[in-house]
């Protein structure tokens, strides 16, 4: 009987009648029969806020009505289908400690699938990154994903994943890769469309659109939808036009050839903080993204009028993409490149309507230290540096000599002892 918990069921303010009942119960004379298949029997205790664990917390389900509305409740849903050891053969009370519910007894496929992914694998010893309940919420209140109130509904997905990936405490404690991903997504063009609703609403991706739900993998895993090899196709499933042009350019061709140094969509756009590509802020920020791999060209660009203006935050100017294109970037030697000898004039004329062939001698990537590429600039640079050094050397020497003379004068004056010469 010590394994039984009936003694702990004595409600705090129970009267003599109840106490007698419980005494009888303990003697086995009038057991509380948990009728097979009846939730009512369970709920009799588990809706009573005075029914507590020995250790303290009350055992009332927060809201039995929610259980009835849930996927597992409904007309026929039974407590004992999940808590099968709560139903006792002899009709007596269930043990204090029941075995953990095994979702696999009904959802074998889902459990098998999740177990193979980042969330199913144990981290920090033995605790799974996320249990089923981590994403689906209380087992007693789960709703079908089509229900707008369901945690796994499209519009609530950001918050469901965000309960870990958007919670700074959890992020820090469990060292979640990428940090607070939810915050970045929330303010992105995709996040805003999911939230605010618009003509695009049905198409904008939420966390699970890009990552999957039970098949979530790290981008480092071979075969992951997010890996370097597969990511353009994933984004391209919605952005067909961008994918086709990217595939035809130098970056895309290198990427398809398996070259990991080639940029994929997220190297330029980021994965979660994606912004409207036409916005000034992003257009200027994108220059910095090119700079992660082409720092020499970005440096030279910033020496030009175009680069000095964008450096101040203005995008109404020639950015890298204005001259090179965004997705189908090609080497200058490729006649299809907008900066090739064949097309350069037309490219400049987009903005410089009066531009003539003369302007073509202007170098958009000057290298002051390269005597072959930037002859004029090189010598102008040498000249300027020479002048600068000359001027400093002359006046430096002048100052030294001047100081020497003043010092000598002062000593002589002192020796002369205030002579009246
Ligand atoms: C007579 C009152 C009573 C009835 C009837 C009852 N329970 Fe309980 N149940 C309790 C109490 C009290 C506890 C807390 C035990 C403890 O930890 O001290 C408990 C604990 C539990 C737990 C948690 C077990 C654990 O390992 O932590 C589950 C699950 C549970 N009950 C399910 C059920 C189900 C399902 C039914 C119906 C088949 C049911 N109970 C019927 C009183 C009852
Ligand atoms: C779909 C399976 C499922 C069904 C059906 C179900 N439960 Fe549970 N229940 C669980 C799981 C899983 C847990 C463990 C809770 C957790 O991990 O957060 C649990 C926990 C509990 C607990 C312990 C709560 C605590 O605070 O520790 C009680 C009590 C309980 N269930 C009672 C019931 C009752 C009563 C019913 C029927 C009205 C019911 N359950 C139906 C899956 C289920
Ligand atoms: C990382 C979050 C996450 C975890 C962990 C998770 N699920 Fe899910 N689950 C989801 C999402 C999101 C959906 C809705 C899928 C969709 O929209 O296609 C879903 C759908 C389901 C469905 C309905 C299947 C369908 O195709 O509609 C079942 C059943 C399910 N999950 C069970 C489980 C079980 C059992 C576990 C534990 C092994 C689990 N889930 C773990 C996020 C998760
Ligand atoms: C006794 C069998 C059983 C057990 C055990 C069980 N479920 Fe279910 N579950 C069902 C049934 C039946 C449905 C309703 C399926 C339907 O409507 O197609 C369901 C539906 C679901 C759904 C909703 C799927 C949707 O439509 O979006 C989720 C999520 C889910 N279960 C998760 C769990 C989790 C998590 C556990 C473990 C805590 C669990 N289930 C344990 C039988 C079970
Ligand atoms: C209960 C907390 C929790 C929830 C809810 C959760 N995750 Fe996670 N997630 C983790 C933990 C912990 C890890 C780290 C696993 C590791 O480091 O091995 C992780 C890892 C990941 C990774 C792999 C990161 C990498 O590159 O290694 C992705 C992607 C991810 N989660 C996406 C999601 C999405 C999408 C959702 C919602 C459908 C979600 N998570 C819901 C806890 C959670
Ligand atoms: C538009 C597609 C897309 C959406 C929507 C999206 N992700 Fe990601 N996520 C990615 C890609 C792609 C990566 C791989 C990282 C990279 O390439 O920079 C990634 C990486 C991650 C990582 C690992 C972090 C890292 O730096 O490797 C986590 C965790 C994650 N996502 C969680 C989420 C969560 C949570 C949401 C919803 C709030 C979400 N993602 C929404 C595409 C997406
Ligand atoms: C489920 C479909 C879907 C997926 C997957 C998707 N997007 Fe989007 N994306 C949209 C929709 C819808 C819009 C808003 C309409 C538009 O502007 O084209 C959008 C907008 C954008 C924009 C702004 C477009 C503009 O006109 O300024 C960029 C950039 C973008 N997405 C990049 C990405 C990247 C990178 C990925 C992969 C990591 C990705 N998207 C994955 C649907 C998707
Ligand atoms: C080398 C950097 C870079 C890469 C890689 C890249 N983009 Fe872009 N993307 C840009 C720039 C710059 C713009 C702005 C173009 C403009 O202003 O004309 C842009 C614009 C966009 C737009 C809005 C305009 C349009 O064409 O619809 C979408 C959508 C987009 N990119 C999606 C993608 C997708 C999907 C991928 C991967 C297949 C990708 N991008 C790869 C730099 C890049
Ligand atoms: C993740 C690194 C990365 C990013 C980001 C990136 N590129 Fe590239 N880019 C490369 C690599 C690698 C090559 C091939 C270089 C080679 O073949 O020598 C290349 C080639 C090029 C070429 C052709 C030059 C040649 O030698 O074939 C141009 C032009 C170019 N990139 C411009 C840009 C512009 C403009 C941006 C920003 C919108 C950008 N790139 C962003 C890595 C990057
Ligand atoms: C005003 C137009 C213009 C702008 C703006 C511009 N470029 Fe260029 N870029 C050119 C031209 C023209 C060439 C070919 C020059 C040459 O003959 O070497 C070139 C060459 C290059 C090359 C070498 C291509 C090859 O095939 O060898 C790279 C890489 C490059 N640019 C990257 C960038 C990056 C990154 C930016 C932004 C920081 C940028 N460019 C901005 C016009 C421009
Ligand atoms: C996206 C528009 C755009 C493109 C494309 C562009 N420029 Fe410019 N450029 C400007 C703007 C705006 C200015 C500011 C002065 C002005 O309005 O003429 C400027 C200024 C200049 C200047 C300095 C003018 C001065 O008065 O000092 C030169 C030189 C120049 N561009 C050359 C070029 C060349 C060569 C090309 C083609 C390879 C080119 N630009 C392509 C927008 C552009």
Which has the minimum average pLDDT: 12-21, 241-250, 390-399? 12-21
Could you write out the DSSP letters of every residue in 203-268? TS--HHHHH-SSS---TTSTT-TTSTTTHHHHHHTT-HHHHHHHHHSHHHHHHHTT-TTS--HHHH
pLDDT(91) > 70: no
Q: What is the pLDDT of residue 200?
A: 59
* CA-nearest residue, atom 37 of ligand 10: 320
User: Which of ligand 10's atoms lies nearest the C-alpha of 302?
Assistant: 38
Separation of alpha carbons 52 and 60, rounded Å? 8
The answer to whether 368 and 378 have CB atoms below 8 angstroms apart is yes
Separation of alpha carbons 338 and 329, rounded Å? 9
Q: What is the pLDDT of residue 268?
A: 97
Which has the minimum average pLDDT: 67-81, 88-102, 383-397? 88-102
What token pair was written down for 133?
Answer: 């309940």
In which region does residue 398 sit, left (phi positive, over 0), alpha (psi from -120 to 50) or beta (all else)?
A: alpha
- Kindly report the three-state secondary structure assignment for every residue of 253-306: HHHHCCCCCCCCHHHHHCCCCCCCCCCHHHHHHHHHHHHCCCHHHHHHHCCCHH
The answer to whether 355 and 348 have CB atoms below 8 angstroms apart is yes
Q: What is the pLDDT of residue 35?
A: 41
- pLDDT tens-digit series, residues 299-326: 999 999 999 999 999 989 999 999 999 9
Please calculate the CA angle 302-308-312 and round it to the nearest 5 degrees: 120
Pocket test residue of 70, 109, 214 for ligand 3, highest count of atoms within 8 A of CB: 214
**SS3 state at 128:** strand
Q: Which residues contact 195 (CB under 8 A, 6 or more apart)?
A: 155, 158, 186
Pocket test residue of 59, 67, 91, 92 for ligand 1, highest count of atoms within 8 A of CB: 59
pLDDT(7) > 60: no
Separation of alpha carbons 52 and 3, rounded Å? 16
Among all bound ligands, the one having the nearest atom to the CA of 121 is: 5
Pocket test residue of 318, 320, 329, 336 for ligand 9, highest count of atoms within 8 A of CB: 329
pTM over 0.85: yes
Output 29 or 134, whichever has higher pLDDT.
134
Closest C-alpha to 119, from 46, 191, 217: 217
Which has the minimum average pLDDT: 12-16, 90-94, 277-281? 12-16
Provide φ and ψ at 95, rounded to 5°: -60, 155
- pLDDT tens-digit series, residues 330-352: 999 999 999 999 999 999 999 99
98 lines ligand 1 (CB under 6 A): yes
What token pair was written down for 360?
Answer: 């073509």
pLDDT(142) > 90: yes
297 lines ligand 10 (CB under 6 A): yes
What's the 231 CA to ligand 6 centre distance in angstroms? 11
What's the 139 CA to ligand 2 centre distance in angstroms? 6
Could you write out the DSSP letters of every residue in 58-85? B---S-HHHHHHSTT-TTT--HHHHSGG
What's the 46 CA to ligand 4 centre distance in angstroms? 21
Which has the minimum average pLDDT: 172-176, 277-281, 340-344, 387-391? 387-391
Q: What residues form DSSP beta bridges with 52?
A: 58
The b-or-e profile of 318-334 (16+ CB within 10 A means b, else e) is bbbbbbbbbbbbbeeeb
What's the 294 CA to ligand 9 centre distance in angstroms? 7
**SS3 state at 270:** coil
Q: What residues form DSSP beta bridges with 304?
A: none
Q: What residues form DSSP beta bridges with 58?
A: 52
- pLDDT tens-digit series, residues 212-258: 999 999 999 988 999 999 999 999 999 999 999 999 999 999 999 99
pLDDT(23) > 80: no
What token pair was written down for 33?
Answer: 């029969």
Q: Which long-range contacts (CB under 8 A, 24 or more apart) does 52-61 make?
A: 52/8, 53/8, 53/96, 54/5, 54/8, 54/96, 61/140
pLDDT(209) > 90: yes
């Amino acid at each position: 009987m010590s394994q039984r918990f009936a003694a702990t069921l004595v409600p705090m303010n129970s009267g003599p009648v109840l106490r007698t009942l419980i005494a009888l119960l303990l003697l086995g004379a009038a057991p509380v029969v948990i009728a097979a298949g009846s939730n009512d029997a369970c709920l009799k205790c588990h809706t009573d806020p005075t029914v507590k664990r020995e250790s303290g917390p009350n055992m009332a389900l927060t809201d039995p009505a929610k259980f009835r509305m849930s996927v597992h409740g409904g007309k026929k849903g039974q407590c004992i289908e999940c808590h099968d050891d709560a139903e006792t053969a002899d009709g007596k009370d269930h043990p204090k400690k029941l075995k953990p519910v095994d979702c696999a007894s009904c959802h074998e496929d889902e459990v098998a699938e999740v177990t193979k992914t980042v969330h199913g694998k144990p981290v920090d010893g033995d605790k799974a990154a996320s249990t089923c309940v981590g994403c689906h919420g209380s087992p007693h209140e789960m709703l079908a994903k089509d229900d707008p109130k369901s945690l796994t509904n499209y519009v609530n997905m950001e918050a469901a994943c965000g309960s870990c990936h958007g919670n700074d405490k959890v992020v820090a404690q469990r060292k979640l890769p990428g940090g607070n991903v939810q915050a970045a997504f929330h303010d992105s063009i995709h996040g805003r469309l999911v939230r605010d609703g618009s003509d695009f609403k049905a198409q904008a991706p939420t966390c699970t659109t890009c990552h999957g739900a039970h098949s979530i993998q790290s981008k480092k895993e071979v075969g992951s939808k997010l890996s370097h090899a597969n990511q353009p196709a994933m984004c391209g499933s919605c952005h067909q036009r961008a994918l086709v042009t990217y595939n035809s350019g130098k970056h895309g061709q290198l990427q398809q050839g398996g070259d990991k140094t080639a940029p994929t969509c997220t190297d330029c756009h980021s994965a979660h903080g994606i912004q409207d590509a036409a916005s000034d802020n992003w257009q200027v920020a994108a220059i910095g993204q090119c700079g992660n791999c082409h720092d020499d060209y970005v440096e030279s660009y910033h020496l030009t009028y175009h680069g000095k203006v964008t450096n101040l935050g203005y995008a109404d100017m020639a950015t890298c993409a204005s001259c090179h294109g965004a997705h189908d970037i090609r080497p200058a030697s490729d006649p299809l490149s907008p900066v090739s000898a064949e097309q350069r004039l037309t490219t400049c004329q987009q903005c410089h309507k009066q531009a003539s062939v003369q302007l073509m001698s202007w170098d958009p990537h000057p290298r002051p230290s390269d005597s072959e590429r930037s002859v004029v600039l090189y010598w102008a640079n040498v000249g300027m540096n020479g002048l600068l050094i000359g001027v400093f050397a002359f006046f430096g020497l002048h100052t030294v000599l001047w100081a020497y003379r003043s010092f000598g004068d002062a000593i002589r004056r002192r020796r002369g002892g205030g002579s009246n010469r």
